[in-house]
Chain A
């Protein structure tokens, strides 16, 4: 009979208990970090709170240079994200766009305002609110706030096109695809899709600015900021609000800034130096 004697049995159970209890500790000693690393991807923007500071002075200076103003950031963004031009404002898809000061800041009425600001174009985009109302109303959680860095994201796979979020957003930052973007007029979009590395959308989903989550993941700045820096205007600054030494926090310390409709309590993360 092939048996295990008492001594042998105790030895086996002893080693087994030792290994079972010490498994994780042993891993930590011999291969530190390996266990956790295999369970999650590389941390990309953990613990950040992304924000943007828009310097109106610099932007308007650049606007004054061109005959039709400056649309560099809008064009760059829409090129990178395959946003088509429908040629009809009712169907327009907006990620980053311009509107007059009075429309951007309707809570700042002032009949004696300086002409340098009155009727002037303001760069507008999704505010990536700290307290986003669009997220609260979404019935499918297709739009959600990333816990890691505060970006308000859209999951196009899950959007059912109910447009509650569009009704909830006080900034008009969301657009509905009334038609298939591939059927947008060819004469207005000759080389559509403009970026073959990024998807398009389908008819019946809502879309908006995603703060270039796909570029941030690679350690790049959002497309609008890159373009603004490229033309030398440097009106857009992107950074982390959670870091007291960051570029955006420095700008916010040095300048007086305003946000859109702060009285609504959405806590926008886009700041304007007027």
Chain B
């Protein structure tokens, strides 16, 4: 092999550069987000479903809502405790959770999802 030493050094440097992000971030876990509740959400105490379900599966519920509202014209949702809610992302969900940047966005960024809800649905105005 001609210039074997140079090639091997080059390979080592190349591999090192390739793996550098892993070494750089080794041992450091990204901080889990801590979404904030608005005053209104705190006072309401209950969401349309239990907190754990909402945390893990709110998108399933939203998908069901959009389907039943748009296609079946069923605009009301009855929660497990018998309370009736008007199905609406903008009118019901965001009415309480009006702090997009400190609630929705934190977790969406953390798990690297980019829901396209906001292409059409209007985000609440937040005080800077």
Contact = CB atoms under 8 A, between A and B. Distances in A.
Given A153-B70, A155-B70, A157-B70, A201 B75 contact: no
Contacts of A201: 120
A197 B74 contact: no
Contacts of B90: 196-199
Contact of B73 (A38, A156, A217): A217
B56 interface: no
Interface in B52-73: 66, 68, 70-73
A213 to B, nearest CB: 7
B120 A200 contact: yes
Given A202-B119, A202-B120, A197 B91 contact: yes
A193 interface: yes
Contacts of A199: 90, 120-122
A156 B66 CA distance: 10
Which of A38, A157, A200, A202 counts the most chain B CB atoms within 10 A? A157
Interface string A37-56: 01011101100000000000
Contact of A213 (B73, B76, B78, B116): B73
Given A144-B71, A157-B70, A41 B76 contact: yes
Interface string A176-195: 00000000000000000100
Contacts of A242: none
B66 A157 contact: yes
Nearest to B87: A41
Given A196-B90, A197-B90, A199-B90, A41 B120 contact: no
Interface residues of B, number: 19
Contacts of A153: 70-71
Nearest to A144: B71
Contact of B75 (A41, A144, A200): A41
Contacts of A140: none
Interface in B72-96: 72-76, 78, 88, 90-91
A82 to B, nearest CB: 8
B113 to A, nearest CB: 17
Q: Which of the listed residues B75, B76, B88, B121 has the most CB atoms from chain A within 10 Å of its own CB?
A: B75
A193 B121 CA distance: 11
Contacts of B76: 41-42
A146 interface: yes
15 contacts: A38-B78, A41-B68, A41-B74, A42-B76, A146-B73, A148-B73, A149-B73, A157-B66, A157-B70, A193-B122, A196-B124, A197-B88, A199-B122, A200-B121, A202-B120
